[in-house]
């Protein structure tokens, strides 16, 4: 069944359906209060060819399937993943950017929504590394991967982590332990033996960048062929273990074909100049190519593994993290590295030497010294190096509200813009 309408035109005519379209959540005792409704998502199918067609609303939140979202940066991949995963009984969100986007489930607005909808507070587990102390205003439980097993995982509604919960990432940006933890967690949830779709026992594993999932598996084996085999094994067994896998990629070719072919639903959003690959260009017979180049952030196109085509839109989740949000501060999360007897001062301080040196230069410039004077004082050959430090400091504050290097060195100027005139 072909349609002559473009995607955007078809969505406009379907807005009335979206306003009334909500899916049941898989937790017990849902509250019908509209204040605590789920972020809406709706799909309208333009071409149905599968003999055993199952409506999308009977899949999402109930069945363990693989969703692969393809879109450039800034097109709402993470927001769409949150809208889908919130409909599953358990959310495992452990593969996010290092700005703490995986901690969106800890935001006060989400905790209030969850308690209002289900009559209880969510049970949230924070995965942390060895020799780390993590505390939170809401007293969320924090455990290392060695302290948990499948029985422990089953107790919680949400399991999440971030790179800053690991010692050597805080000290020198080494994320080895972080990815090692994720690899072990995938092995633990893979031990699940049974589940019931009718009882809505499927879980959601949210991988905001599937390349991170691949990197986590390299911590188990360094051999490329063995690593690829592990990835395929993971993707195949998720369905049998009752786990829905939600992965994001920037380009369709970023993932191996064997893994792409396992995705029951491929979601495409604003593909830009790349457009569709050759094997999918037949879809241009049904849709206007311009709609694949650019579309609204909350709009998407969807393709099933059977060849069904549809388009849809979703409501941005109220708890989604924006670039300017500091979730550590908002959620009252404190983390600290615990020094042990085996740690030498050289181990702890040498990796941070760049941060300390940067903070020292910023302080000297802020005190009114010229770039040349600061360069001489710090034994730097060129004043342009100091100017670059000031520029990167200010740009980091503009983008993140703080300077990462100054924050690591615990400098009091980590959130202060340095005037360029100060060092002239």
Residue 108 pLDDT:
93
d(CA 143, CA 159): 10
Has residue 346 got a pLDDT over 70? Answer: no
- 312, 333, 354 - which closes a domain: 333
- If one compares 35 and 253, the residue with the highest pLDDT of the two is 35
Residue 339 covered by a domain: no
- Nearest Cα residue to 212 out of 323, 327, 388, 78: 78
Same domain, 269 and 385: no
The total number of structural domains in the chain stands at: 2
What pLDDT, on a 0 to 100 scale, did the predictor assign at position 352? 54
User: Domain span at residue 191?
Assistant: 7-333
Residue 132 maps to a domain: yes
Pairing between strand 243-249 and 265-268?
A: unpaired
| Position 350 pLDDT exceeds 80 | no
- The residue out of 311, 333, 355 marking a domain boundary is 333
Q: Is there a single domain that holds both residue 315 and residue 383?
A: no
Query: Is the model more confident about 297 or about 216?
Result: 297
- Taking the model in full, what pTM does it have? 0.71
- Residue % of the chain over a pLDDT of 70: 79
pLDDT at 106: 94
Provide mean pLDDT across the span 260-278: 80
**Cα–Cα distance, 191 to 69 (Å, whole number):** 26
Q: Please tell me whether residues 288 and 369 are part of one structural domain.
A: no
pLDDT score, position 217: 56
Structure confidence at residue 49 (pLDDT) = 83
104 and 182 in a single domain? The answer is yes
Tens of pLDDT, residue by residue over 231-241, are: 667 777 888 88
Amino acid 3: pLDDT? 35
Looking at the structure, tell me whether residues 303 and 156 fall in a common domain: yes
- Spell out a b/e string for 231-250, using b for 16 or more CB atoms within 10 Å of the CB, else e: beebbeebbebbbbbbbbbb
| Whether 403 and 321 share a structural domain | no
Q: Is residue 2 part of a domain?
A: no
Indicate if 267 and 246 belong to the same structural domain: yes
With CA atoms as reference, report the closest residue to 78 among 97, 60, 65. 97
In a domain, 147, yes or no: yes
For residue 236, is it within any domain?
A: yes
Domain annotation covers residue 227 = yes
Mark whether 84 and 209 lie in a shared domain.
Answer: yes
pLDDT tens-place string over residues 21-64: 333 333 344 455 667 888 988 888 888 887 677 778 778 888 88
Q: Check residue 51 and give its pLDDT.
A: 66
Question: Over 50: is that where the pLDDT of 6 sits?
Answer: no
Same domain, 93 and 164: yes
What is the per-residue pLDDT across 189-202, written as a single tens digit (0 to 9) for each? 888 887 776 677 88
223 in a structural domain: yes
| Whether residue 321 is found in the same domain as residue 361 | no
361: CB partners within 8 A, 6+ apart = 374, 378, 380, 386, 389, 390
Per-residue pLDDT averaged across 259-281, rounded? 80
| High-pLDDT (> 90) share of the chain, % | 17
- Specify if 1 maps to a domain: no
Average model confidence (pLDDT) across the chain: 78
Residue owning tokens 């709402």: 76
Name the DSSP class of 350: G
Quick one: average pLDDT of 78-107?
90
What DSSP line would sit under 362-412, residue for residue? HHHHHTT--HHHHHHHTT-S-HHHHHHHHHHHHHHHHHHSS-HHHHHTT-T
Point out the domain boundary residue: 307, 333, 359: 333
Same domain, 13 and 68: yes
Structure confidence at residue 110 as a pLDDT band (50, 70, 90):
very high
Confidence of residue 353 (pLDDT cuts 50, 70, 90): low
CATH number of the domain bearing residue 61: 3.40.50
Per-residue pLDDT, 404: 77
> Does residue 256 share a domain with residue 209?
yes
Contacts of 151 (CB under 8 A, 6+ apart): none
Residue 186, pLDDT > 50, answer: yes
Q: What are the pLDDT digits (tens) for 285-339?
A: 887 777 777 778 888 889 898 888 888 889 999 999 988 888 988 998 988 888 7
């Amino acid at each position: 069944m072909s349609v002559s309408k473009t995607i955007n035109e078809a969505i406009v005519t379907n807005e009335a359906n979206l306003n009334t379209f909500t899916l049941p959540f898989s937790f017990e005792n849902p509250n019908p209060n509209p204040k605590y409704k789920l972020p809406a998502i709706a799909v309208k199918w333009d071409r149905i060819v599968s003999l055993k067609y199952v409506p999308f609303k009977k899949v999402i939140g109930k069945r363990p399937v693989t969703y692969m979202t393809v879109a450039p940066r800034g097109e709402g991949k993470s927001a769409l993943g949150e809208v889908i995963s919130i409909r599953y009984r358990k959310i495992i969100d452990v593969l996010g950017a290092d700005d703490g986007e995986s901690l969106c489930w800890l935001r006060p607005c989400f905790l209030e929504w969850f308690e209002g909808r289900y009559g209880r507070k969510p049970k949230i587990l924070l995965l942390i590394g060895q020799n780390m102390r993590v505390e939170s205003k809401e007293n969320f439980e924090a455990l290392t991967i060695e302290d948990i097993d499948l029985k422990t995982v089953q107790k919680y509604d949400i399991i999440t982590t971030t790179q800053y919960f690991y010692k050597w990432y805080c000290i020198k940006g080494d994320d080895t332990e972080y990815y090692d933890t994720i690899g072990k967690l995938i092995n633990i949830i893979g031990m699940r033996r049974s589940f019931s779709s009718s009882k809505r026992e499927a879980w959601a594993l949210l991988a905001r960048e599937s390349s991170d999932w691949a990197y986590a598996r390299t911590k188990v084996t360094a051999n490329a062929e063995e690593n690829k085999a592990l990835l395929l094994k993971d993707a195949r067994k998720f369905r049998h273990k009752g786990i829905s896998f939600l992965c994001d990629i920037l380009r369709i070719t970023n993932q191996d074909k064997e893994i792409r072919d396992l995705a029951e639903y491929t979601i495409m959003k604003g593909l830009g100049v790349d457009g569709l690959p050759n094997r999918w260009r037949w879809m241009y017979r049904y849709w206007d190519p311009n709609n694949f180049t650019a579309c609204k952030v909350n709009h998407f196109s969807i393709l099933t593994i059977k060849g069904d085509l549809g388009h849809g839109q979703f409501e941005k989740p109220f708890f989604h993290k924006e670039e300017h949000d500091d979730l550590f501060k908002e959620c009252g999360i404190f983390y600290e590295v615990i020094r042990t007897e085996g740690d030498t001062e050289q181990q702890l301080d040498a990796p941070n030497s760049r941060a300390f040196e940067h903070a020292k230069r910023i302080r000297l410039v802020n005190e009114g010294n010229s770039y040349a004077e600061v360069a001489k004082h710090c034994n730097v050959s060129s004043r342009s190096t100091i100017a670059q430090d000031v520029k990167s400091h200010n740009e980091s504050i503009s983008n993140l509200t703080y300077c990462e290097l100054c924050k690591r060195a615990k400098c009091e100027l980590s959130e202060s813009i340095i005037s360029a005139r100060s060092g002239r």
